[in-house]
Structure 1
Amino acid sequence: MNRLARVVASAAVLMLAGCGSVPLTSIPPLARIDAKTTDLSMLRVAVQLPDALRPRSGGVKLDVVTKLAGEAEAKTSFAMTEMSQTRDRVDLPAPPRGFSIYAYRLSPADATRFEALRASMVEQGRNGKRGSMGLGVAAKEFCRADAAPQASLLVTIYLMTSETKGFVPVVRDFNLLGDPAMATGLESLEPCGQ
């Protein structure tokens, strides 16, 4: 992946359901991420949610978008596994009152799948096919812990890689209720525990 494509992919990384904006201070560390060489054992994602929402098991995904010259873009999704150990959360900021942070890593099986996809892209490059690879993370499945009306539902997403060496905010305080399509979808969320 050339440098410009990597910067663009990194700046676009981790958009919550395709919406939000990357904080300007996060762009330099994110620009250092190279999907072709990053150490997958260090890849971590964290989602800060208001206590009114909780991610469902399997609801946080790593999406890898690959594009080879002359071919259609392909997206492969990988399940993220929640990490509950305190040591896995040490680099995360304390959430504000009324919020919780959920941290995730790739499962060993999906890390192997990602590595195979990455090796395939590198091999295609060696065979003269130009291509690109970008990462995206989305919290796609929630449940409602509190049915009371909310003025806002602010979400922050963090990423840590071997290049960033710490959690970097990639979407900060994105209001789910500010997007009409998301707000409508949130109305139909089932309560947690069902």
Structure 2
Amino acid sequence: MRPVLPATLLLCGLLAGCGHVPLASLPKLAKVDIRTTDLAELRAGISLPADIRTLPGGVTMTLIALPKDGGRHERKVVLEEVREAAELAKLPAVASPGRRFTLFRLSRADTARLGAFREEMFAGPQNSGNRGSLALGADKACRLGELSGKPIAMSGYLRTSETQDYVLLMRDFDLRDAVREIDPKVDLATAIPPCDTVAEAKLSGSPAAP
């Protein structure tokens, strides 16, 4: 049984809300095999309104293993931002006024860590029936100004060694709606504080991508 990225691969919102993968993206995602995909080549991109910035440690990836005999095992790591101009220049993104695109990858240490976990969970005939998936999450952010009543639209992208290009995971997913569904009492202005009040805030991302 081939463990692949399932149709439920999601990029979660800032407060754990999730969007649905577009149907057009599913054939490309179906090519990804978590047993063999080159983890060093994996890239995740997030497009947000320009006044919303992700914070260091706020974007994560979780590798989940579901053994055929039952149970669940996972490893969660924090993704690091890609800042090399040469790589950012190759992004197939169309500039969009008022938005910023931030690109993330695994660190070398976490690439090795997840590689070892993957070997343990999926390598060998004894693991042939095990299933697996990846989950991307963004749960720490700040804002440059006051929040308006407009939607906070987030788009997410994934590139792997199989896809070769960036596959759309969600387009214009409104984080406000996600928060309302999870807990209508959550104060979004508190959950996404002003950047100048957050000690670890580091403005990041490049203008790009819808």
Distance 1:107 1:128 in 2: 27
Counterpart residue number, 2:130: 131
**Paired letter, 1:110:** D
Q: 1:128 to 1:33 in 2, by over 3 A?
A: closer
Q: Indicate whether 1:186 and 2:188 are aligned.
A: yes
Counterpart residue number, 1:27: 26
Moved over 3 A (4+): none
- CA displacement at 1:167 relative to structure 2: 0.8
Q: 1:122 to 1:87 in 2, by over 3 A?
A: same
What secondary structure does 1:127 align onto? helix
Q: Indicate whether 1:66 and 2:65 are aligned.
A: yes
Higher alpha-carbon deviation: 182-191 or 61-70: 182-191
Counterpart residue number, 2:101: 101
- CA displacement at 1:10 relative to structure 2: 3.1
Q: 1:128 to 1:59 in 2, by over 3 A?
A: closer
Distance 1:182 1:46 in 2: 26
Distance 2:55 2:97 in 1: 21
Q: Deviations over 1:72-127 (max 9, x none)?
A: 2123111111011232222231342111000011000000001001110134x423
- CA displacement at 1:136 relative to structure 2: 1.1
Partners of 1:51 and 1:146 within 8 A in 2: no
**Paired letter, 1:157:** G
Unmatched segments (≥5 aa) in structure 2:
199-210
Q: Deviations over 1:130-183 (max 9, x none)?
A: 311101111111112221314100000100000000111111110001220377
TM-score by length of 2: 0.82
Counterpart residue number, 2:9: 13
**Paired letter, 2:193:** E
Distance 1:60 1:28 in 2: 25
Q: Deviations over 1:49-93 (max 9, x none)?
A: 112211000111011111112332123111111011232222231
Percent identical residues:
30
Distance 2:99 2:134 in 1: 26
What secondary structure does 1:11 align onto? coil
Partners of 2:67 and 2:127 within 8 A in 1: no
Unmatched segments (≥5 aa) in structure 1:
none
Q: 1:162 to 1:128 in 2, by over 3 A?
A: closer
Distance 2:127 2:6 in 1: 24
Partners of 2:147 and 2:189 within 8 A in 1: no
Partners of 2:154 and 2:171 within 8 A in 1: yes
Higher alpha-carbon deviation: 31-40 or 182-191: 182-191
Q: How does 1:134-173 map to 2 (within 5 A)?
A: 134-173=133-172
Distance 1:38 1:18 in 2: 27
Partners of 1:68 and 1:129 within 8 A in 2: no
Number of aligned residue pairs = 189
Higher alpha-carbon deviation: 66-75 or 168-177: 66-75
What secondary structure does 1:69 align onto? coil
